[in-house]
Amino acid sequence: MFNLSEAKKSKAKLRLAIDGPSGSGKTYSALLIAYGITDDWSKIAVIDTERESANLYADLCNGDKKYLTGQINAPFTPKKYLDAIKVCEESGIEVIIIDSLTHAWTAEGGLLDIHDEAVKRQKTANTYTAWADVTPLHRKLVDAILTSPCHIICTVRSETEYAQEKDANGKTKVVKVGMKPQFRKGLDYEMTVVFSMGQDHLATINKSRINTFLVNDVIQPSKETGKKLLEWLNSGDDLPTCSDCGKPIQPFGDMNSIGVSLYTQRKYGRSLCSECAKKAKELDYKEITNTTEEIEDVLD
Ligand SMILES: [Zn+2]
């Protein structure tokens, strides 16, 4: 049954993607923004895939509190990311920096490798059907980011993209068309804000749901940026809490927190987070994709 209710903003957790070429200052910017949010280095954890590059900035923390880092090494399977996120969540961390998410896509053992393996197993040239093996894993990783009780900042490496064009004489030439973030297309739609870093260490706001961060504005990411983000995130009502685990109910797929709360209230007679709703039904998580029908199916 379909219900209408007044639109209202609830408190939210940050979902920020910072993309840019290597050397553009993604990790450094992520740390400063995270510190603006927590005002306490020890509440920040970096999931580091870049051979301990996160340790390079330890000097930022003057005082006895340091941010924490943990390493993911090859193969960069989505499962390793899920485990790492869980460890951070259970360690009282407030901001998780995933540095970088690109490894889960393009690096050894990442989603593109899993796709290649599936194509080989199929023994046909049809690469399209092999995505059936990849999409649920991709979805699970993105959902872990979107539903986390922590603020999450993902860095995404971008590379120069080229295209072929014909010049005035009909000759084919190769031209630069811009920077392409190295992760599965569509991530920007799921994030609250996307910053694109340039070699000048400045960030262009590429996507924003926040009225104090305007698309196309260029900013110098800093502790102040984090404070300003937090101000917006904290405006609005408290998130509804889960009756079973007591945690705030996070948005799930296309549904906002209130939507999940109302939905589970109707189905189970109590407000549940998506995790507890899953447990309540002992569902197989493998089949989840992002359409509303399928989400309803899972919460059913
Ligand atoms: Zn719960």
Residue 6 lies in a domain: no
Gap from CA of 260 to ligand 1 centroid (Å):
11
User: Does the pLDDT at position 53 exceed 50?
Assistant: yes
Q: Same domain, yes or no, for 267 and 179? A: no
Residues, CB-to-ion distance under 5 Å, ligand 1: 242, 244-245, 273, 276
Residue 3 lies in a domain: no
Phi-psi region of 216 (alpha: psi -120 to 50; beta: other; left: phi over 0): left
Q: Same domain, yes or no, for 68 and 193? A: yes
User: Does the pLDDT at position 81 exceed 70?
Assistant: yes
Gap from CA of 42 to ligand 1 centroid (Å):
26
Alpha-carbon distance 196 to 189, whole Å? 14
Gap from CA of 264 to ligand 1 centroid (Å):
11
Q: Same domain, yes or no, for 146 and 295? A: no
Gap from CA of 15 to ligand 1 centroid (Å):
20
Last residue of a domain, one of 234, 269, 288: 234
Domain interval for residue 261: 238-300
Q: Same domain, yes or no, for 167 and 47? A: yes
Gap from CA of 286 to ligand 1 centroid (Å):
19
Q: Same domain, yes or no, for 253 and 197? A: no
Gap from CA of 233 to ligand 1 centroid (Å):
21
Last residue of a domain, one of 234, 262, 288: 234
Gap from CA of 248 to ligand 1 centroid (Å):
8
Gap from CA of 136 to ligand 1 centroid (Å):
22
User: Does the pLDDT at position 261 exceed 70?
Assistant: yes
Q: Same domain, yes or no, for 60 and 186? A: yes
Q: Same domain, yes or no, for 211 and 146? A: yes
pLDDT band for 160, please (50, 70, 90 cuts). Answer: confident
Q: Same domain, yes or no, for 55 and 75? A: yes
pLDDT at 201: 95
pLDDT at 178: 76
pTM > 0.75: yes
Gap from CA of 203 to ligand 1 centroid (Å):
36
User: Does the pLDDT at position 59 exceed 90?
Assistant: no
Work out how many domains the chain is built from and give that number. Answer: 2
Q: Same domain, yes or no, for 191 and 269? A: no
Last residue of a domain, one of 234, 253, 279: 234
pLDDT at 297: 58
CATH number of the domain where residue 124 is located: 3.40.50.300
Gap from CA of 204 to ligand 1 centroid (Å):
37
User: Does the pLDDT at position 259 exceed 90?
Assistant: no
Q: Same domain, yes or no, for 174 and 267? A: no
Gap from CA of 7 to ligand 1 centroid (Å):
24
